[in-house]
Amino acid sequence: MRMLRDVLWNLFKGRATVMYPEERGSPPDNFRGRLGFNRDECIGCGLCHRVCPASAIEMENDGRGARPVFHIERCIYCYLCIEVCPTKAIKPGKEYAVVTSRKSDLVVR
Amino acid sequence: MGVYIPVGPQHPIHPEAILLKLKVEGEQVVDADVDSSFVHRGIEKALEHKTWLQGLYLVERVCGICNVAHSTCYTLNVENLLGVEAPTRAQYLRLVVEELARIHSHMLWLGLLAHLIGFQSLFMLVFRDREKVLDLMEELTGNRITTAYNVVGGVRRDIDPALEHRVRSTLEELRGRVKRYRKLIEEDPSVRARTVNVGILERSEAEELHAVGPVARASGIKYDVRADDPYLVHDEVPFNVVTLETCDAWGRAMVRVEEVLESIDMIMYSLDHIPSGPIRKRVPPVFKVPPGEGIARVEAPRGELFHYAKSDGSERPYRYRMRTPTLANLAALVYMLRRGDRAVYVADVPVIFGSIDPCICCTARVFVLDERGSRVLNLEDLGRSRGR
Amino acid sequence: MSCLALLFEWLDRKFVAKLQNRVGPKYTGPFGMLQPLADLVKLLSKEDIIPEGTKTFLFNICPVAAVLLLFIANSFVPTVHVEGVLKAEGDLIIILVIITLYLLTIYMAGSAAPSRYSLMGAARAAVMLLGFELPLMFSSLSVGFAAGGFELSKIVAKQFERPFIAGPHLIGFAIFLIAAQAELEKIPFDIPEAETEIVSGWLVELSSWRLAFFRFSKDLELVLLSGLATALYLGGPIGPVIPGLEVLLYPLYFLAKSISVLFLLSLLSTLFARIRLDQFIRLCWRYLIPLTLAYFLAMMWVV
């Protein structure tokens, strides 16, 4: 019967549920979401490719040299690449809903 | 006589794949066996192909709920081998995150227990309150569950005063809620009816079966790695090792709830006494570890977690081995299910099973002991049975 | 009546959700009111599976029988007037018999399937019957004795001045609620279904229209029991009326009263953990049945 107070109290409280697709809370500043990449700042050192624990970063030659390609569907959001990047060309992002029906949406170049 | 009832590998009792083979006569369980070999993922083998730093992120994914314990254990182990020690501030922060993880793990468990005994309201309310801890985790570490907070040489993010304030106020609020749940578990007749004297594990039996964590502590064994072998700044932060002598599922619930309160106190104390200074010693992303062997022990929410590493001097581990708390408690689980001196009802099975806080994906990793055939299945056998 | 059943399920879900700080059904229809209907339609469209080794005849006949039985029983309950749609000599007893028969269909449907879970669920349902049937019967029959007849219309008519709940029948009402909770297999007593123990008990092998029918029959039972409690203790659909407006007001009174009973039942289901079968039987025989008998004898003595 101990529960009686709690459940009755809930009658007068708002819902705890977040009605997800309609209301989206914004993640905190520290949040590790989908990363971004600025190609111009990249020097093609390949460090990110070497440290990535999930092998989500492939190196691709675009004429100027080897540049990383990020496969978000493989990304585990550890941000190790951002940490090692010497020119800060890889940018943190806050987007967390990365579901899509086109695989090409999940490739960051 | 008796009917064989399979509980699992797909069963509402637990989201993970484990098979309890119960022999049932009427409503009573007369025999039980356990098979936890359904989710072998080959993580230890995969670790041998990752560099030491990459391995950290794989180790974190051994178990979602105790990922902080796993990554703490791994970093401590590697730091030991490297001869690096994390700065004091980093150690305090590690402790804060570890205790936050303990709170959310124990609250998850409490909700699960409520669900297992059919107490849907308690389940919902506990999960509602647990969400706040996850939000704190998200703000502090950048993610709700897979925190990626620890790193070899320290931690990755510092705590700022505004966040510290939020942690304090949330935990203060949570303390009130948890005290309320403690009272509920203590006094509610239906919860007591389902848990008191269910899943008895006497002290001597718990010692014999090497139970760890809250299971052992509810049987009166005062054993906690944090107190007996302080690995972070546990010797500076005061806390009590909660033990109870009730030896039953109710005791395990109470131990966990009390531990949540202890953890809240520990976090408060750590935030008060955290020294300023660097949070991380720079270690290059790819590094070689001097040859040798090392172990590390951590008190995960479920009990003692043990890591072993062997290095041959390269940038990858030669061998890595983990023993998770659930594996240590499985023997106790089977014993509790089939002890002959007390009636175990079918309705008690979820409670007993839940009371060890099983985490199967941690447990089924490298080999499977086939108890009846006394045959050790190794990786190769598993591969063969998959291929069939 | 079918609409009422679906409405009651929706109310039950919504109210419990509110008590647990959740939202409940939301998307289908206004405030999710059509969710129970949508569930039914979806179940009806599902693949029909009959497990190997099933006693097919029983398996097919039970869901139909369950729904039919409850429709008949519901017709006796006075909703818009002092009398129900159907009326018979001693219809209270007919309803009680039907409630027992309904449990029989559950038992048979559970034991017709070859699964061990459903067999255990069926056995549990049968054992539970031993516990809650006497309280259910005697608490209703006492009202009959107090009213001097076992026709629901007579019982309702007797409460024109004062509903039975005001007075000694409060105990009867409490007993009736607890027994109804067990009959409905709602939470503290959902032992035959017990999701975490025996998956879904007797329901486990039912699929497609069989499951839909049984779920629908549960909703009908919800209406039946709250309607019955209303008729027995709360004075059925009667209440203070402006002359001439009975036709309009009586159904409203009935709805208000039976929904309050429904809310009490839902509230009860949020307060406890599921108890064990042996504990349930002990609870019934140690406390509930002696209390019921004492109440019953007291009523007999008063009459």
Residue recorded with tokens 């749940």 = B181
Structure tokens at A17: 């549920």
Chain B CA closest to residue A78: B148
CA C21 to chain centre: 25
CA-angle at C103, arms to C100 and C105, nearest 5° = 115
Sheet of A107-108: strand order equals A57-61, A66-71, A107-108
* Structure confidence at residue B17 (pLDDT): 79
Q: How far apart are CA A67 and CA A46, in angstroms?
A: 8
**Is A80 close to B53, i.e. CB distance below 8 A?**
yes
Please state the ipTM of this predicted complex. Answer: 0.85
Chain A CA closest to residue B124: A16
* Structure confidence at residue B380 (pLDDT): 43
* Structure confidence at residue B269 (pLDDT): 92
Q: What is the pLDDT along chain B (388 residues), one digit of tens a residue?
A: 677 888 877 887 777 778 888 888 877 888 888 877 777 778 888 888 888 888 888 888 888 888 888 899 999 999 888 888 889 899 999 999 999 999 989 999 998 888 888 888 888 888 888 888 888 888 888 888 888 888 888 888 888 888 889 999 999 999 988 998 888 888 888 888 888 888 888 888 888 888 888 888 988 888 888 888 888 888 888 888 888 888 888 999 999 999 999 999 999 999 998 888 888 888 888 888 889 888 888 988 888 888 888 888 888 889 888 888 888 888 888 888 887 777 788 888 888 888 888 887 777 654 544 445 445 544 444 444 433 3
Q: What is the pLDDT of residues C248-293, one digit of tens each?
A: 778 888 888 888 888 888 888 888 888 888 888 888 888 888 888 8
* Closest by Cβ to A10, choosing from C20, C26, C272: C20
> In Å, what is the CA distance from A79 to each residue of A31, A105, C144?
11, 20, 74
Interface partners of chain A (CB pairs < 8 Å, 3 or more) are B, C
Kindly report the CATH number that applies to the domain delimited by B40-332.
1.10.645.10
Torsion of CA B146, B152, B154, B159, to 10 degrees: -20
> In Å, what is the CA distance from C256 to each residue of A35, B14, C226?
56, 41, 11
| Helices B249-273 & B88-116 angle (0-180, nearest 10) | 150
Distance from CA of B88 to the nearest CA of A (A): 22
Segment holding B317, helix H or strand E: strand B317-323
Distance from CA of B53 to the nearest CA of A (A): 8
The residues of chain C scoring below 50 in pLDDT are: none
* Structure confidence at residue B263 (pLDDT): 92
Mutation pick from C12, C276, C280 vs chain B, by most beta carbons of B within 10 Å, is C276
**Is A17 close to C22, i.e. CB distance below 8 A?**
yes
* Closest by Cβ to B191, choosing from C20, C187, C273: C273
* Structure confidence at residue B386 (pLDDT): 38
Structural domains present in chain A = 26-108 (3.30.70.3270)
Mutation pick from C14, C15, C20, C21 vs chain A, by most beta carbons of A within 10 Å, is C21
Mutation pick from A1, A2, A82, A95 vs chain B, by most beta carbons of B within 10 Å, is A2
CA-angle at C70, arms to C68 and C73, nearest 5° = 115
Phi and psi for C123 in degrees, rounded to 5? Answer: -60, -40
Distance from CA of B311 to the nearest CA of C (A): 45
**Is B54 close to A32, i.e. CB distance below 8 A?**
no
* Closest by Cβ to C279, choosing from B11, B124, B193: B193
* Structure confidence at residue B261 (pLDDT): 92
**Is C274 close to B118, i.e. CB distance below 8 A?**
yes
**Is C19 close to A7, i.e. CB distance below 8 A?**
yes
Chain B CA closest to residue C116: B5
- A15: contact with C, CB 8 A cutoff: yes
Interface partners of chain C (CB pairs < 8 Å, 3 or more) are A, B
Q: Return the domain boundaries, chain C.
A: 2-302
Query: Does B291 sit behind a cis peptide bond, omega within 30 degrees of 0 on the bond before it?
Result: no
Q: Strands B317-323 and A36-37: what pairing?
A: unpaired
Contacts of B253 (CB under 8 A, 6+ apart): B110, B113, B185, B195, B355
* Closest by Cβ to B128, choosing from A16, A28, A31: A16
* Structure confidence at residue C251 (pLDDT): 81
